[in-house]
């Protein structure tokens, strides 16, 4: 009796350890398939879809959304939300532009100031959420207004043209922003699934009270996540500013919703406790390919938005079914 118990345990441990690669692939297979299907459809439907320029355009466009989506994934996993990312990106970009144009500071210092601006916004969000136990929705909605206003104040509501001094980061057609985004996705996934911090994040999102009663203070963990989101948003600001060679106080409008949509398509739960950075990346790619493909097929902007909206909702419904199926063998 005892031996069979042990044997069963032993075999199940083996089964778990050996095929770690297929399990890893299986998690993303659905998303990759959806992306592949989209590519095939648009490849057939739009004649000039499979061109280098087209992919380069998509890759460059998704970089900043991807980086913000990584931060948003962490925030959603702790059952939070950050509505301020679009405005914070504009503010961080504005700081970068003003440092260079108005004060003539060198690029590294301007970038440091830009990142600091993002971190400060994240810190403010996190401190208010943890100190006064306010819902992140409200706090970051406030920050959305504050940061947007601040971006206009910093730039006097004017777009700061920086020129090639900052453009070097983006490079000409070199895809550097995309590479940076991919590296951040990989690092983000490693932090989430391989570090103590990542484990705490999932635990807090799963059951904050249980974590607190286990003698672990959830507040620094939540604070850390908001700071991380602000920091990543500022990196996105550097990249988008470099690509435009200008700091626009109106940049990033609607970015928060695009990022949340991508993360949700990737299967991260708004209720917290569950999510994957790599899946969020697939979510960003799916939306971007969908939009690019539709516009190449000559679909107008309004129709595009209707279709994108339907895809977001359909993706979440599908994800729910997937989880229900996985949960059914429960007694």
Partner 1 sequence: MEAGSTETILTARGISKSFPGVQALSGVDFDLRAGEVHALVGENGAGKSTLACIIAGVAKQDTGQMELGGQPYSPASRADAEARGVRMVMQELHLIANLTVAENIFIEKLPNRFGIVDYGKLNGAAIQIMEQVGLADIDPATAVSSLGIGQQQMVEIAAGLSRQCRILALDEPTASLTDKEIELLFYQIKRLKADRVGIIYISHRIEEVMHIADRVTVLRDGRLISARPTHRLTSNGIINMMVGRDLEQVQLRHAGEVGPVALSVQGLNLGDKVRDVSFEVHRGEILGVAGLMGSGRTETMRAIFGADRADSGSVYLSGDTQAAQITSPRDAVRSGIAFLTEDRKGQGLLLPMAIRKNISLMRLDDVSRFGWMDESRERSVADRQAEALSIRCSSTEQSAAELSGGNQQKVVIAKWLYRDCDVLIFDEPTKGIDVGAKFEIYNQLGKLAEKGKAIIFVSSDLKELMAVCDRIMVMSAGTVAGIFDRDRWSRQKIMAAALSGSVADSV
Given the complex with partner 1, which of 52 and 196 has the nearer CB atom?
196
As measured in angstroms, the least distance from the Cβ of 16 to partner 1 is 5
> Which among 74-82, 167-175, 201-209, 222-230 is the span making contact with partner 1, rule CB under 8 A?
201-209
Task: Choose, by CB under 8 A, the member of 216, 297, 307, 311 that binds partner 1.
Answer: 216
Q: How far apart are CA 238 and CA 229, in angstroms?
A: 14
Task: Choose which of 3, 48, 53, 209 interacts with partner 1 (CB under 8 A).
Answer: 209
Q: Least Å distance between CB 209 and partner 1?
A: 5
CA angle 65, 174, 170 (to 5 degrees): 55
In the three-class reduction of DSSP (H, G, I as helix; E, B as strand; rest coil), residue 102 is classed as coil
161 beta partners: 246
State how far the Cα of 127 lies from the Cα of 109, in Å rounded to an integer: 26
Tokens 């996540």 -> residue = 225
109 CB neighbour count, 10 Å cutoff: 12
**Closest CB to partner 1 among residues 209, 301:** 209
To 10 degrees, what angle do helices 218-244 and 85-101 make? 50
Task: Say which DSSP state 172 is in.
Answer: S
Among 26, 57, 168, 194, binds partner 1 (CB under 8 A): 194
- CB of residue 6 to partner 1, shortest distance in Å: 9
**Which residues, other chains included, contact 178 with Cβ-Cβ below 8 Å and sequence gap of 6+?**
59, 60, 62, 63
Q: Which of 7, 145, 156, 217 binds partner 1 (CB under 8 A)?
A: 217
- The structure tokens 């359909």 sit at 314
CA distance linking residue 130 with residue 178, whole number of Å: 34
Q: Does 9 bind partner 1 (CB under 8 A)?
A: yes
Query: Contact between 27 and partner 1 (CB under 8 A)?
Result: no
Q: Which is nearer to partner 1, 199 or 305 (CB)?
A: 199
Compute the least distance from the CB of residue 272 to partner 1, in Å: 11
For 301-328, the DSSP string reads: HHHHHHHHHHHHHHHHHHHHHHHHHHHT
Query: Closer to partner 1 at the Cβ: 158 or 214?
Result: 214
CB of 293 to partner 1, least distance (A): 36
Write each residue from 251 to 280 as x if it is in contact with partner 1 (CB under 8 A), else as -, in one continuous string.
Answer: ----------------------xx------
Which residue from 205, 207, 201, 250 is spatially nearest to 228, judged by alpha carbons?
A: 201
Decide whether 221 or 285 has the Cβ nearer to partner 1: 221
- Per CB under 8 A, the segment of 4-12, 223-231, 279-287, 294-302 that binds partner 1 is 4-12
If one asks whether residue 305 binds partner 1 (CB under 8 A), the answer comes out as no
d(CA 61, CA 65): 8
Total residues contacting partner 1 (rule CB under 8 A)?
30
Which residues make up the interface to partner 1 (CB under 8 A)? 5, 8-9, 12-13, 16, 194-200, 202-203, 206-207, 209-217, 273-274, 330-331
């Amino acid at each position: 009796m005892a031996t069979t118990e042990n044997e069963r345990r032993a075999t199940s441990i083996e089964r778990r350890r050996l095929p770690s690669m297929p399990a890893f692939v299986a998690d993303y297979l659905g998303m990759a398939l959806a992306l592949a299907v989209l590519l095939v459809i648009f490849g057939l439907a739009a004649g000039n879809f499979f061109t280098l320029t087209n992919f380069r355009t998509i890759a460059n466009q998704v970089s900043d959304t991807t980086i913000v989506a990584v931060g948003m994934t962490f925030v959603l996993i702790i059952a939070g939300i950050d509505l301020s990312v679009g405005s914070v990106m504009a503010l961080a970009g504005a700081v970068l532009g003003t440092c260079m144009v108005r004060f003539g500071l060198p690029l590294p210092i301007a970038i440091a100031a830009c990142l600091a601006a993002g971190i400060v916004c994240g810190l403010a969000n996190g401190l208010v959420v943890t100190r006064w136990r306010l819902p992140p929705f409200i706090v970051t909605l406030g920050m959305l207004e504050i940061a947007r206003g601040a971006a206009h104040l910093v730039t006097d509501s004017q777009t700061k043209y920086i020129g090639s001094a900052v453009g070097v980061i983006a490079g000409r057609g070199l895809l550097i922003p995309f590479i940076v985004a991919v590296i951040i996705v990989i690092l983000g996934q490693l932090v989430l699934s391989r570090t103590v911090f990542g484990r705490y994040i999932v635990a807090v999102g799963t059951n904050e009270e249980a974590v607190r009663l286990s003698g672990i203070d959830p507040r620094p963990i939540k604070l850390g996540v908001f700071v991380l989101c602000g920091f990543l948003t500022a990196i996105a600001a550097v990249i988008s500013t470099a690509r435009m060679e200008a700091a626009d106080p109106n940049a990033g409008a609607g970015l928060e919703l695009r990022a949340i949509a991508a993360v949700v398509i990737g299967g991260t739960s708004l209720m917290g406790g569950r999510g994957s950075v790599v899946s969020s990346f697939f979510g960003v790619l799916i939306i971007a390919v969908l939009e690019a493909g539709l516009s190449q097929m000559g679909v107008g902007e309004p129709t595009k938005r209707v279709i994108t909206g339907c895809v977001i909702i359909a993706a979440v419904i599908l994800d729910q079914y997937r989880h229900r199926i996985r949960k059914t063998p429960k007694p």
